[in-house]
C-alpha cells in the first residue's frame, strides 16, 4: 500500500499544476477576504434609505443579492421594496424612493458563466444623500465581483490551457473549480455588504471593530475552507477514473496487490493531499491574517481539521463509487457539494436559511465540520462540548469509506 501511496505522491509532485491550482483557489479567496476585511476601517453614518428593487432575473443569485439588503444591519439601513417589472421608475418619480436597482434578466447566468454582468441603478435626482449611498453600495459589490472575476479568471484560462496540453485535469475538475469560484464570488459579494455597516454601528474604537471583523472573517473562513476542501478532494478523486482510463488500475490489480490495498492507498492519498491543502489555508489565516486562536484551542482545532478531512475523504470516495462515469461525476458532485455547503452554513449563515432548510442542515456533513470549527475558534469550546460533532464526523470517516470499499470492490471484480 505504501508503494502505491508513494507513487501517487510522486505523480502529484511531478505534475503539481493541477494540485496547486486547487489549493490556490481557497488561498486566493481567503487572501481577498483578508484584504477586504482589513481595509474596511472608514465609515459614514448612514441614514435610512428607501430602495426599490426590480428583479428581472428572479433566480437564486438575484435572491441572494436582494437578501443581502434585508440582512440585519443592511436591513436597518435600507427600506427595501420589491416591485414588479417596470414599476420602479414610478416610485422614483413620485419621490417615494431614493434609488431603483434593476437586476437584469440573465444576471445569474452570466455571473455563473464568468461574463460581465450589469446592475442598473437609477438614482432619484431630487434627493441628494441616499442615492449616493446606494451607488456606493452597488459600487462596492461590483468592484469586488470584478476583482474576484479578474483574479479568478486569469488562472482559470492559463491553467486550462496548461491542462489541455498535459491532460492532467479534466473537465470535471474545471467545472468544479468554475462553479466554486462563481459560488464564492456571490458569497463574498454578499459579505462585502457587512463590514462597512458593522463598522458604522461600532465606530467607538478601532480595535473593537477590528476584532469583530476578524471573527466574522474567521467564521466565514471556516465555511469556505471546508467547502473548498470538498472541491479539492473532488478534483483529486478524479484519479479513480484516471487510473481506470489509463489502464494503470488494471495493471495494479493483476499484480499481487489486492484490490483492498489499492482502494485503501487512494484514501490515504486523498487524506494527505486534502490535509495539506486544508492546513495551507489555515496557516495563512493564522500567520498572515492573524486570526486569533488561544493556545489551548490549537490542539482541538487541529484534531477537528483531521477528522473533517477524513470524513470528507470518505464522503467523496463514497460518491465516486456510486457514480458511473466521469461525466456523471462532473455533473453531480459539484452540485452536491454546493447543496451540502449551502445547507451546512458554509456559504450563508444557517440562520439565514428558510426554517425548513435550517432543519435539514444536520444532514449536511459540511454542517458538522463548519459548526465544529466555528465553535472551537470563536466560542472557544472544548472537545467535550463538541462530542456529537466529533462522533458524527468519525462515524462518517468509518462508514463511508467502508461502504465505498465494498461498492468499489464489487465494481472491480465483475
Partner 1 sequence: MLKVSNLTKSFDRVLAVDHIFFHISIGEIFGFLGPNGAGKTTTINMICGLLNPDAGEIELDGQVLTPDRTGLRHKLGVVPQEIALYEELNAYENLRFWGRLYDLSGNALKGRIHELLQLSGLAERARDRVKTYSSGMKRRLNMIAGLLHRPALLLLDEPTVGIDPQGRHNILDSVREIAAQGTTILYTTHYLDEAEALCDRLAIIDHGRILAMGTEGEIKSIVGENAIIRITGDISKEDIEPLTSRFAHLKIESQKERELLLSFSTAERAGDIIEAMYASGLDIENLQIKEPSLDSAFIKLTGRELRD
Cα 272 off chain centre by: 21
Q: How far is the CB of 166 from partner 1 (least distance, A)?
A: 7
Q: Which of 52, 62, 168, 374 binds partner 1 (CB under 8 A)?
A: 168
Supply the DSSP symbol for 292: -
Binding mask 65-104 toward partner 1 (x if CB under 8 A, else -) reads: ----------------------------------------
Q: How far is the CB of 254 from partner 1 (least distance, A)?
A: 4
Q: How far is the CB of 331 from partner 1 (least distance, A)?
A: 24
Q: Binding to partner 1 by residue 247, rule CB under 8 A?
A: yes
Q: Binding to partner 1 by residue 257, rule CB under 8 A?
A: yes
Q: Which of 252, 333, 338, 350 binds partner 1 (CB under 8 A)?
A: 252
Kindly tell me which of 139 and 251 has the beta carbon lying closer to partner 1.
251
Q: Which residues of 361-387 are buried (b: 16+ CB within 10 A; e: fewer)?
A: beebbbbbbbbbbbbbbbeebebeebe
* Cα(160)–Cα(349) distance, integer angstroms: 33
Q: Which of 39, 161, 205, 256 binds partner 1 (CB under 8 A)?
A: 256
Q: Which three cell numbers stand for residue 185?
A: 464570488
* Cα(242)–Cα(240) distance, integer angstroms: 6
* Cα(285)–Cα(281) distance, integer angstroms: 6
Binding positions for partner 1, 5-24, rule CB under 8 A: 7, 10-11, 14-15
Kindly tell me which of 166 and 351 has the beta carbon lying closer to partner 1.
166
Closest CA to 330 of 180, 174, 157, 182: 174
Give how many residues touch partner 1 by CB under 8 A: 25
Q: How far is the CB of 268 from partner 1 (least distance, A)?
A: 16
The DSSP code sequence of 181-212 is HHHHHHHHHHHTTHHHHHHHHTTT-HHHHHHH
Kindly tell me which of 251 and 290 has the beta carbon lying closer to partner 1.
251
Kindly tell me which of 17 and 331 has the beta carbon lying closer to partner 1.
17
Q: Which of 9, 140, 253, 383 binds partner 1 (CB under 8 A)?
A: 253
Q: How far is the CB of 10 from partner 1 (least distance, A)?
A: 7
Kindly tell me which of 9 and 121 has the beta carbon lying closer to partner 1.
9
Contact 192, 37 (CB under 8 A): no
Q: Binding to partner 1 by residue 325, rule CB under 8 A?
A: no
Kindly tell me which of 98 and 252 has the beta carbon lying closer to partner 1.
252
Q: Which helix (H) or strand (E) holds 79?
A: strand 78-83
Q: Binding to partner 1 by residue 283, rule CB under 8 A?
A: no
Kindly tell me which of 11 and 160 has the beta carbon lying closer to partner 1.
11
Q: Binding to partner 1 by residue 414, rule CB under 8 A?
A: yes
Q: Binding to partner 1 by residue 118, rule CB under 8 A?
A: no
Q: Which three cell numbers stand for residue 280?
A: 495551507
Q: Binding to partner 1 by residue 324, rule CB under 8 A?
A: no
Q: How far is the CB of 273 from partner 1 (least distance, A)?
A: 15
Q: How far is the CB of 261 from partner 1 (least distance, A)?
A: 9
Residue 353 phi, psi (nearest 5): -75, 155
* Cα(38)–Cα(32) distance, integer angstroms: 10
Residue 74 CA: distances (Å) to CA of 50, 63, 342: 12, 15, 21
Question: Mapping DSSP to helix (H, G, I), strand (E, B) and coil, where does residue 178 land?
Answer: helix
Closest CA to 34 of 285, 204, 249, 237: 285
Footprint of partner 1 on this chain (CB under 8 A)? 3-4, 7, 10-11, 14-15, 166-168, 246-248, 250-258, 412-414
Amino acid at each position: 500500500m505504501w508503494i502505491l501511496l508513494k507513487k501517487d505522491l510522486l505523480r502529484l509532485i511531478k505534475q503539481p499544476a493541477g494540485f496547486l491550482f486547487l489549493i490556490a483557489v481557497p488561498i486566493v479567496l481567503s487572501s481577498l477576504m483578508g484584504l477586504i476585511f482589513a481595509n474596511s476601517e472608514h465609515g459614514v453614518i448612514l441614514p435610512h434609505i428607501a430602495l426599490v428593487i426590480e428583479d428581472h432575473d428572479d433566480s437564486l443569485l438575484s435572491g441572494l443579492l436582494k437578501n443581502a439588503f434585508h440582512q440585519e444591519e443592511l436591513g436597518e439601513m435600507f427600506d427595501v421594496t420589491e416591485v414588479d417589472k417596470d414599476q420602479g421608475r414610478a416610485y422614483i418619480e413620485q419621490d417615494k424612493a431614493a434609488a431603483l436597482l434593476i437586476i437584469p434578466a440573465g444576471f445569474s447566468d452570466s455571473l455563473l458563466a464568468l461574463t460581465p454582468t450589469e446592475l442598473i441603478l437609477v438614482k432619484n435626482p431630487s434627493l441628494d444623500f441616499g442615492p449616493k449611498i446606494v451607488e456606493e453600495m452597488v459600487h462596492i459589490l461590483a468592484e469586488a465581483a470584478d476583482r474576484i472575476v479578474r483574479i479568478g479568471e486569469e488562472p482559470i484560462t492559463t491553467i486550462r490551457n496548461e491542462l489541455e496540453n498535459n491532460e492532467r485535469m479534466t473537465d470535471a475538475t474545471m467545472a468544479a473549480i468554475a462553479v466554486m469560484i462563481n459560488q464564492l464570488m456571490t458569497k463574498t459579494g454578499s459579505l462585502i455588504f457587512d463590514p462597512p455597516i458593522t463598522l458604522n454601528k461600532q465606530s467607538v474604537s478601532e480595535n473593537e471593530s477590528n476584532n469583530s471583523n476578524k471573527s466574522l472573517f474567521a467564521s466565514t473562513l471556516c465555511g469556505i475552507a471546508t467547502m473548498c476542501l470538498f472541491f479539492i478532494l473532488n478534483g483529486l478523486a478524479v484519479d479513480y477514473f484516471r487510473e481506470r482510463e489509463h489502464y494503470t488500475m488494471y495493471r495494479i490489480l493483476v499484480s499481487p496487490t489486492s484490490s483492498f490495498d489499492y482502494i485503501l492507498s487512494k484514501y490515504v492519498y486523498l487524506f494527505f493531499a486534502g490535509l495539506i491543502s486544508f492546513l495551507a489555508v489555515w496557516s495563512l489565516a493564522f500567520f498572515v491574517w492573524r486570526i486569533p486562536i488561544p493556545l489551548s484551542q490549537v490542539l482541538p482545532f487541529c484534531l477537528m481539521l483531521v477528522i473533517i478531512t477524513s470524513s470528507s475523504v470518505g464522503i467523496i470516495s463514497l460518491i465516486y463509487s456510486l457514480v458511473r462515469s466521469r461525466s456523471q461525476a462532473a455533473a453531480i458532485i459539484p452540485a452536491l457539494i454546493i447543496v451540502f455547503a449551502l445547507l451546512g452554513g458554509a456559504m450563508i449563515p444557517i440562520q439565514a436559511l428558510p426554517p425548513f432548510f435550517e432543519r435539514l442542515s444536520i444532514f449536511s456533513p459540511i454542517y458538522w465540520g463548519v459548526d465544529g470549527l466555528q465553535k472551537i475558534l470563536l466560542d472557544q469550546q472544548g472537545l467535550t462540548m463538541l462530542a456529537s460533532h466529533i462522533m458524527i464526523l468519525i462515524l462518517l470517516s468509518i462508514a463511508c469509506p467502508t461502504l465505498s470499499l465494498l461498492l468499489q470492490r464489487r465494481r472491480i471484480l465483475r
